[in-house]
């Protein structure tokens, strides 16, 4: 690839350029001023731009005398037309990695680099640099003691948007009816085995095995709760929930 330095008047814009680029000129001009003209303009054998219309406008804005140019004389007219479109469209396919981009931006910010040269809007930078984590007043790993009096009492039904949460008895058909309010159960999630102590991984009561019951007590509780879940079905004629 041979790069030549041409005067601006020698480079001819393509009159049917399908890309609107006026809004990008200032950002590209700032980039060229900061980093140099690192990407040549590509033209065909007639000196008409294939790739680089925005860079030409940016060069004019900066008052440059010459720009780097590559003549793609090997392309057919059809390839030239296709390349103009493909160069712009393929650039739209790539996406930012929003786990890594904030890290790079933060490093530049810490170095007092002008982030305005990157082409992002101020509100975009603010959102990308906002970790969303606020310093709390306590250790986030601390588990607070339960209150002397619980906020939620047995029988309380919380409406959470499309969700319903009942403080009730899983073995009570009446509680289940109240919770569902006529809705049909499509799926029941269970997590056996039950009443088996687990290796403590934290200081909560369940992990420590403090919530386990005797075998007789566990059998009675499981029979009530699981029996209620198993017997709760759908009346195929009405489509409404029913007890077997």
Q: Which two tokens stand for residue 13?
A: 């814009």
Better-scored residue on pLDDT, 52 or 190: 52
Residues 188, 107 share a domain: no
pLDDT > 50? residue 92: yes
pTM over 0.85: no
Q: Read off the pLDDT of each residue in 145-154 and give the average, rounded to a whole number.
A: 88
Residues 86, 10 share a domain: yes
pLDDT > 70? residue 212: no
Is residue 86 situated within a structural domain?
yes
Residues 77, 107 share a domain: no
Is residue 136 situated within a structural domain?
no
Better-scored residue on pLDDT, 197 or 99: 99
84, exposed or middle or buried, with CB in 10 Å at 0-12, 13-18, 19+? buried
The per-residue pLDDT for 244 is 44
Residues 215, 193 share a domain: yes
Is residue 104 situated within a structural domain?
yes
| Average pLDDT score, the chain | 84
**Number of structural domains, the chain?**
3
pLDDT band of residue 132 (cuts 50, 70, 90) is low
Q: Which two tokens stand for residue 124?
A: 């975009």
Average the pLDDT over each of 102-111, 144-153, 197-206, 213-222 and give the range with the smallest value. Answer: 197-206
Residues 117, 81 share a domain: no
For the chain, list the strands marked E by DSSP. Answer: 4-7, 41-43, 49-51, 66-71, 157-160, 163-166, 232-234, 241-243
pLDDT > 60? residue 236: no
Better-scored residue on pLDDT, 133 or 44: 44
pLDDT band of residue 37 (cuts 50, 70, 90) is very high
Is residue 141 situated within a structural domain?
no
Q: Which two tokens stand for residue 173?
A: 């058909």
Average the pLDDT over each of 97-101, 108-112, 136-140 and give the range with the smallest value. Answer: 136-140
Residues 191, 127 share a domain: no
Better-scored residue on pLDDT, 19 or 189: 19
Torsion of CA 98, 142, 136, 164, to 10 degrees: 70
Is residue 227 situated within a structural domain?
yes
Last residue of a domain, one of 76, 93, 110: 93
Q: Read off the pLDDT of each residue in 150-169 and give the average, rounded to a whole number.
A: 91
Q: Read off the pLDDT of each residue in 4-18 and give the average, rounded to a whole number.
A: 96
The per-residue pLDDT for 143 is 80
Residues 51, 22 share a domain: yes
pLDDT band of residue 161 (cuts 50, 70, 90) is confident
Determine the structural domain holding residue 33 and report its residue range: 4-93
Q: Which two tokens stand for residue 185?
A: 């159960």
Residues 9, 74 share a domain: yes
pLDDT > 60? residue 82: yes
Is residue 126 situated within a structural domain?
yes
Is residue 151 situated within a structural domain?
no
Residues 8, 89 share a domain: yes
Last residue of a domain, one of 93, 117, 147: 93
Neighbours of 121 (CB within 10 A): 9
- Could you tell me the CATH number of the domain that includes residue 17? 3.90.1530.10
pLDDT > 70? residue 227: no
Residues 179, 227 share a domain: yes
Kindly list the distances between the CA atom of residue 68 and the CA atoms of 25, 61, 73, 180, 196, in Å, as whole numbers in the listed order: 17, 16, 16, 71, 74
């Amino acid at each position: 690839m041979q790069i030549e330095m041409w005067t601006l008047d020698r480079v001819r814009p393509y009159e049917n350029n399908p890309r609107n680029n006026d809004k990008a000129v200032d950002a590209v001009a700032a980039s060229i001023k900061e980093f140099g003209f690192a990407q040549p303009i590509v033209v065909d054998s007639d000196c008409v731009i294939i790739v680089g219309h925005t860079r030409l406008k940016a060069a004019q804005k900066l008052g440059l005398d010459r720009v780097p140019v590559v003549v793609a004389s090997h392309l057919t007219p059809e390839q030239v037309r296709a390349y103009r479109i493909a160069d712009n469209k393929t650039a739209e396919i790539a996406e930012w990695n929003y786990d890594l981009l904030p890290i790079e931006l933060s490093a530049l910010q810490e170095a007092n680099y002008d982030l305005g040269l990157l082409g992002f809007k101020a509100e975009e930078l603010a959102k990308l640099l906002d970790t969303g984590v606020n310093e709390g007043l306590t250790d986030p790993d601390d588990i607070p003691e339960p209150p002397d009096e619980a906020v939620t009492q047995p029988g309380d039904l919380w409406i959470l948007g499309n969700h319903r949460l009942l403080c009730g008895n899983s073995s009570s058909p009446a509680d289940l009816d109240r919770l569902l309010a006529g809705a049909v159960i499509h799926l029941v999630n269970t997590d056996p085995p039950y009443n088996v102590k687990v290796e403590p991984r934290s200081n909560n009561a369940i992990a420590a095995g403090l919530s386990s019951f005797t075998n007789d007590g566990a059998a009675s509780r499981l029979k009530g709760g699981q029996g209620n879940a198993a017997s709760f079905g759908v009346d195929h004629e009405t489509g409404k929930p029913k007890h077997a």
